[in-house]
Structures are given as C-alpha cells and as structure tokens.
Structure 1
C-alpha cells in the first residue's frame, strides 16, 4: 500500500540541498504509480500576471498578482489553480483534501470564470518526480509530508509560507519553523 500524497504538501526539510527546492512548499497535484507532480507555492516572481499576457485575469488573481515559479520542469508551461465559489464536483477538483481548489483553464473567458471562482494563482513550470522518486526522497528525509490548508495556495505572504506551514504543525516539527537560513552563523 502506497501513501499517495495527492492534495498534500511536501515541505523541504533543512537537509534538502537542491537549490530548486530550498525551503520549498509544494502542493502535490497528482501522485500515483507513474510519479508525482506539483507546484511550488512560495516562489513569487517579479513577472506580473498582466506582463505574462494574462491581463483579463487580473481581477481574479490572488495577491501578490504575479506569476509564481511552480518548479523547474517545463518553466514555460502555465498551471493555474483556482478556488471555486461552491463545492467542486469530485471529477473537477484536485483532491477531496483540497476544499474547492481546482485546476483552471486560462483559455476560458475570465469574465465567465469569475462566476465560479473566488481567486486564481498562476504558476510557470511545475515540480515533477518519476515513479517511486518522491517516496525515496521522503524516506531519505528530504521532505516533510503534511496536510495542506486550502489557504496555503493563495497566501498573501509567500516568503513566510515555509515557516507558517511548519509553525502550525504539532510537537517538535513546529521547531523547524525557526531553523536559521544559515545554521553555520548560529
């Protein structure tokens, strides 16, 4: 039996030394025998949604209204997540764990989408793992696997998300939220 992580967070541990994922908070969008993929929730870029040629979406984009670096895989691919105004049917939502969060087709007319969506977050690229790779990395201590809070997707303070997610955890795991950027200076 596998512990599939769809709809959960994988949060980089301080031991993870890949610069693409240093202090990353990744929402796992799909995890099955073929591998896993997700988006990094805490990598805001300087590119505004308007500059990314998505001006019609401005009113729906959560603050900060920028394109996020979703991960190192296919950095020109655009992934968008939205929070629906009402419950999302199981076949449209990402996971029952993610209340009202769904993938958004940016080719849809944003005016029509606004009827069904409260807000949207746009990502360039994604994180991806081959079959069994995420499980091995979790077992090796590179990632904490944690429950997602739907508000994580739309945080207004992405730079603090790593600390915030860890701080809300029970027990000793919360202590990691105070881990220094450079422990050698401690």
Structure 2
C-alpha cells in the first residue's frame, strides 16, 4: 500500500532513482491533488548562486546558506520562496501552506512584495530556483516503480543548516529497514 501524499510530507529519492534532477533529493510537497498533480521543491540542493546576485533585497532575510536552492527542473528561471513566520498570524506577503497542523507556520513568500513588510514577521526563509512538478497520476506511477519514499517531515527539515546531509538524515530517522537505506553508498559499484 502506498503512503499518502499530502502537503508537508517529504518525497525522498530511493537509491533506484538515477535521474540527475532528483538523485538523492528530498522534496517538500507544497501542493497535491490526486487529479491535478503535485508540486514541491527540492530542499537539499544549495546552488553556487548567492541570493545577492539575483534578489539582493531579500538577502538579509534568508536563512543560511545565503544561496539559491535548486528547487527542481521546472521553470528554473523563476524563484519561489518559503518562510516560517514567528506567530500564527498570516502577514501580508506570505501565504500559509494548506497542510497538516505541523506546517501551520510555513508558507510561500510573494517575492514581488517589499521585503520590509516581512522583515519582523519571519524567522527563517529560503529561495528556490525552479520547482518539481508532476501531472495527475505521474507521481503515483513513479511511486509504484520504487522511485520515491514518502515520509513525514520534521520542523527543521526545510531550513536545515546542513542540506547536503539531509537525504541520509531523513532516512536514518525512519523506522525499520528504511533507516538502513541511509547507509547505501553513493556508487554501489565501489562497494
């Protein structure tokens, strides 16, 4: 039986997924509709591009590392920002993710809004170039092929200070045999 997909859950690439866009990626689900498809961002791929190079006015609000993250292969020339708010209120320029209660302080940022209106309202923020998207039924087919694990997220995942270790760390905290996958070598032929 496949795990339920909903906003706030993580899609963790299995070792079988060798697509370079998603190899060892961790995707936070931002939108999901069984018929309409799924949208998310890869949260463990910092790029080499500094936020100051692309969106300098937002740089002071970004949680380290202060770079754009590679959110996925779709519309890589556009930016999407996620931020956690300090209170349960919904400040101007921020829209709450419509998911489980654990996601109540996480939302998207309107990057066309002046950063000053959110400066005192958010505690953490990341900006992603592009996103990951699946049409209706496409993600389900990939799940059936064994390309993804669907697991719960934890509050620190989205703004993890060591995004390069997130794939292993997310798997390591799972129950049973799934935790063993964290030890899977980068290149199984070198084993």
Alignment TM class, shorter chain as reference: over 0.9
Does the alignment pair 1:157 with 2:162? yes
Q: Deviations over 1:34-57 (max 9, x none)?
A: 1111000011001000011x2222
> Residues 75-154 of structure 1: matches in 2 within 5 Å?
75-88=76-89, 92-94=95-97, 95-96=99-100, 97-154=102-159
Q: Shift in Å at residue 99 of structure 1?
A: 3.8
Q: How many residues align?
A: 183
Question: C-alpha distance in 2, partners of 1:155/1:162?
Answer: 11
Q: Shift in Å at residue 82 of structure 1?
A: 0.1
Comparing 21-30 and 101-110, the one that deviates more: 101-110
Q: Shift in Å at residue 5 of structure 1?
A: 2.5
Q: Deviations over 1:63-108 (max 9, x none)?
A: 100000100011011100000111256x932122424110001122
TM score, norm. by length of structure 2: 0.91
Unaligned runs of 5+ in 2: none
Runs of 4+ with >3 A deviation? none
**SS of structure 2 residue aligned to 1:141:** coil
**What is the match of residue 178 of structure 1?**
183
Q: Shift in Å at residue 58 of structure 1?
A: 1.8
**What is the match of residue 40 of structure 1?**
42
Cα distance, 1:62–1:4 mapped onto 2, change above 3 Å: same
